[in-house]
Amino acid sequence: MDSLLPQTYLLGLIGLLAIVAVVVGRQLLRVRKDELNLIQLEQDGAAASKDAGQLYELASVQLRKRLYPQATANLRQALKRLSGEPDEAKALVENALGFALAAQKDFDGAVKHYKAAINAKADYPVALNNLAFARERLLQPEEAAELYRQVLAVEPSNKTATKRLKRIERRIRSGVNATSPESANRKGF
């Protein structure tokens, strides 16, 4: 009976290490794939391209690699070259540009681009969620709550909107500003 405990412990430890190895391996492969994509796009001259699609693809890789200033510049170029593209393409580029700006803490600029994305495609839940989050960061919880309600009208099973709306409503009811530094410290943000 005593010999069973160490064996069980070792098997559990090996199983846990195997799971960690798989997770780390997948992450390494994903990062390597992004690196290769970035190198390939840069070698193909995507940054100097006149094709909005290539610029968007390059910026998407840069966003995943957290190269926000470079992604912002490429997305701005992509917007200028979007002639004749469908509204959905414009919505994708505007939303990505808003995301890049929000990642750099430029929430006013992000709001502008999220609104442009929603104007291009009214039922775009990702842009609505992002706009609501930017409104939260700009200390406008009522506007953010209304935007999350719009997301839920378009996509009732949206977990992000449901969770954020509940959090905002709870803070509005308690009288605490939804994203103030004091509430962020108390709530564990």
> Using CB atoms within 10 A of its CB, is residue 64 exposed (0-12), middle (13-18) or buried (19+)?
middle
> Rounded mean pLDDT of the chain?
83
Q: What is the CA radius of gyration of the chain?
A: 22
Higher-confidence residue: 12 or 5? 12
CA 72 to chain centre: 14
84-93 per-residue burial string, b: 16 or more CB within 10 A, e: under 16: eeeeebbbbb
163: Cβ contacts below 8 Å, ≥ 6 apart: none
Residues 6+ apart with CB under 8 A from 93: 52, 56, 75, 78, 79, 82
CA 141, chain centre distance (Å):
20
- Cβ contacts of 147 within 8 Å, gap of 6 or more: 128, 129, 131, 132, 135
Contact 87, 120 (CB under 8 A): yes
Q: What is the percent of the chain with per-residue pLDDT over 90, rounded to a whole number?
A: 43
> Percent of the chain beyond pLDDT 70?
86
∠168-171-172 over CA atoms, to 5°? 85
DSSP at 49: -
**For residue 131, what pLDDT is reported?**
93
Predicted confidence (pLDDT) per residue in 78-127, tens digit: 888 887 778 888 999 999 999 999 999 999 999 999 999 999 998 899 99
Provide mean pLDDT across the span 149-166: 91
3-state secondary structure 120-139: HCCCCHHHHHHHHHHHHHCC
| 175-188 pLDDT tens trace | 765 444 444 433 33
Q: Which of 41-55, 58-72, 74-88, 121-135 has the lowest mean pLDDT?
A: 41-55
Q: Taking residues 8-33, what's their average pLDDT?
A: 89
